[in-house]
Chain A
């Protein structure tokens, strides 16, 4: 590897000349191994409210696994066989849990103002995950391949046409909606979830609000006359 500076010289730490080297240096600086996969957390993390983030990710993994099974087996299987019905229901209920856990996680983070301490991108990527998940769930309604999906698509098209995007995003085009639901949107949501988790690892879990010392009664040994 080519180095711009002599590592032993007085110019400071070495800097890689290639983009791969610079990327590696930046990644290891931003995400040291003990920070990327920590085995200890601050004491304030010992609360049930912090469980809902990882519960959301667990539900998301079940959504992806059951969705993959449905994609492999096809609509005849999920409409006609008992196992297909079961996996179809697992897909539905894991989405229900995913959305419920995500919203409780959102409530918790909102009330603790989790964007404090340079955590704005953590908050923003979480919000993008939320809205992306809603879009993914809605396109799921459209690809059930039953009368329900036909009814929903005819209702949705009016709303989308009224805002002028119906020609680009045609909810009555089954093929287009299937591609959005099983490829594009999961890819986007999955990538943003990854960035969200990396942001949490980089900045850490937001600490609770501190009570300002001025609000506290003065301790007897520190009280001034």
Chain B
């Protein structure tokens, strides 16, 4: 495979059916669960991480 083709290839093999988690009536794909978890992590990080100080005001 050419280097450019390698670069264009997805690092994750997506050529299969999605994986789903079942919990009673709740059903969610692993992909959606990962995205929602990342969003929650980003939300928590935005609240907790210190914001860099800007330029001194005139």
Contact = CB atoms under 8 A, between A and B. Distances in A.
A206 interface: no
Contacts of B46: 47-49, 51-52, 104, 108
A48 B49 contact: yes
Interface string B17-42: 00000000000000000010011001
B43 A107 contact: yes
Contacts of B35: 96, 100
A104 B54 CA distance: 23
21 contacts: A46-B51, A46-B53, A46-B54, A47-B47, A47-B51, A48-B45, A48-B46, A48-B47, A48-B51, A49-B43, A49-B46, A51-B46, A52-B46, A82-B8, A100-B39, A100-B42, A103-B39, A104-B39, A104-B43, A104-B46, A108-B43
A104 B42 contact: yes
A163 B47 CA distance: 41
B38 to A, nearest CB: 8
Contacts of B39: 100, 103-104
Nearest to A96: B35
A26 interface: no
A82 B8 CA distance: 9
A26 to B, nearest CB: 32
Interface string A37-62: 00010000011110110000000000
B13 interface: no
B57 interface: yes
B57 A40 contact: yes
A108 B45 CA distance: 12
The 5 closest A-B pairs by CB, nearest first: A48-B46, A49-B46, A46-B51, A104-B43, A47-B51
